[in-house]
Amino acid sequence: MSMLKIGVAGLGTVGMGLLKLAFGQGPLASVVQVVGVSARTLGRVRDVDITHLTWFDDPVELAKSPNIDVFVELIGGADGSAKDAVEAALMAGKHVVTANKALLAAHGAHLATLAAKHGSEIRYEAAVAGGIPVIKALREGLAANYITSVSGVLNGTCNFILTEMDESGRSFAEVLAEAQRLGYAEADPSLDVSGADAGHKLSILSAIAFGGPPDFSSLRLEGIEAIEPIDLESAKFLGRRVKLLAKAARVGSFIVQSVRPTLLGQDHPIARVNGALNAVVIDADPVGRLSLVGAGAGAGPTASAVAGDLIDLSHQDTRPVFSGPGQANSRFLPNQQGSAISKFYVRLRVADRAGTIAKITDTLAKHLVSIESFLQKPPEDAARVPIVLTTQPMAEGDLFKAMAELSRLEIMVEPPILMPLED
């Protein structure tokens, strides 16, 4: 075991959490020596004394510094100084530890090539599901397995919002505003609520599980903006919960990747993972189903993951960046709306008028949509009657056709909302 000299770029809560571990009494302190730091502003009051460390205004200079062995990138963002600094570090033959999912999702292939060329390593346990050591579990613990699917709740902000909406009956907008006040959501929440952040993380898991590099562009993405309290309530009535499920699975010779709100059966291991928690479920042969639940973000959990990577590097256990149970480069199925086969949940709002139900059921029957459950709720006001129904397993494309025809009926007050079911 050798003492690693590290440079840390980005001193937000995660960076400060890492420095606390590095200057503390625990195992990290005995394997790393922090020699340089970089952050946007020197002036912030910080609760760890960093006056004895060499300060770099430019993270790229820190990354290239001959005094460091490992560059820890906690800047964030797919491009800009995070990317410049990571590239500089790799080209200088340094190892990189990063929590940056956007960077890996966008430039994983390029960075892996660069790392291989210069004999460097990139470690990124903190980039997916924060404190849950899922990268390690997949790459090493399940190294002998054939992975059939990886799914999870990978964005704590969305899970917090859905949980709060579910428990309080409040709208998406109200709960989002609260989450922003509490610091659980960014001022610009679009990266989270659109599903993109979960998608970045899924593309990394998927690369390891099935054979990399990450292919974010193939991913089907749906956010939680359209979810209403009525959907959560109806799900509960159906014995289910709505989660923003990120899922990558083998379908034939392809890997299908999607992030979308999904009604999970109540016995699904993720169904009761509430609040800001993250969860990952891996289905694999021969291990079966494995579920991991823990804190997906925050200073402590993320610093724990970064520190674990640094301790691994100090053991000189090196592996190719996206090596894992996946054996060859996988073919990721490009995002194709309509290709899923599943039971579906449908929410309609229709005019409160005689013959409305018959028109709907006739249209569905015409398109061979087989109904599993059908619930007409009391009118919300004079003009709007909510209807929620679930279908038998069917091709989503066929359901789209039925919905298109329904949407042309004048009784429809708003476009239908669709979600798949999963057990």
Applying CB under 8 A, the residues found at the interface with a copy of itself are 17, 21, 26-28, 125, 131-133, 136-137, 140-146, 267, 269, 272, 284-295, 298-301, 303-305, 307-308, 310-312, 315, 317, 319, 325, 327
Asked if 219 contacts 255 with a C-beta cutoff of 8 angstroms, the reply is: no
Nearer to a copy of itself (CB atom), residue 243 or residue 349: 243
Nearer to a copy of itself (CB atom), residue 188 or residue 267: 267
Between strands 341-342 and 394-395, the pairing is antiparallel
Name the DSSP letter for residue 252. Answer: T
Nearer to a copy of itself (CB atom), residue 13 or residue 361: 13
Nearer to a copy of itself (CB atom), residue 143 or residue 404: 143
Name residue, tokens 């974010």.
216
Kind and range of the H or E element at 102?
helix 101-117
- Residue 99 CA to residue 368 CA, distance in Å, equals 47
Stated length of the chain: 423
Least separation, in Å, of the C-beta of 375 and a copy of itself? 26
Between strands 254-265 and 32-38, the pairing is unpaired
- Cα 305 to its chain centre, rounded Å, is 16
- Residue 183 CA to residue 178 CA, distance in Å, equals 9
Least separation, in Å, of the C-beta of 266 and a copy of itself? 9
Nearer to a copy of itself (CB atom), residue 48 or residue 230: 48
- Residue 193: Cβ-neighbour burial (10 angstroms; 0-12, 13-18, 19+): buried
Nearer to a copy of itself (CB atom), residue 276 or residue 389: 276
Least separation, in Å, of the C-beta of 361 and a copy of itself? 37
Residue 387 three-state SS: strand
The question of whether 20 is a catalytic residue gets the answer no
| Separation in Å, CA 152 to CA 100, 314, 352 | 18, 30, 39
| Catalytic choice (94, 101, 201, 247) | 201
- Residue 284 CA to residue 131 CA, distance in Å, equals 22
Asked if 293 contacts 273 with a C-beta cutoff of 8 angstroms, the reply is: yes
Give the Cα-Cα-Cα angle 193, 195, 197 (nearest 5 degrees). 100
Between strands 332-333 and 254-265, the pairing is parallel
Q: Which of 93, 68, 96 is nearest to 6 (CA)?
A: 68
Bridge partners of 34, per DSSP, are 6
Least separation, in Å, of the C-beta of 379 and a copy of itself? 36
Nearer to a copy of itself (CB atom), residue 99 or residue 388: 99
Least separation, in Å, of the C-beta of 300 and a copy of itself? 3
| Separation in Å, CA 43 to CA 11, 15, 51, 391 | 12, 16, 12, 58
Least separation, in Å, of the C-beta of 279 and a copy of itself? 9
Least separation, in Å, of the C-beta of 27 and a copy of itself? 6
Please identify every residue annotated as catalytic: 201
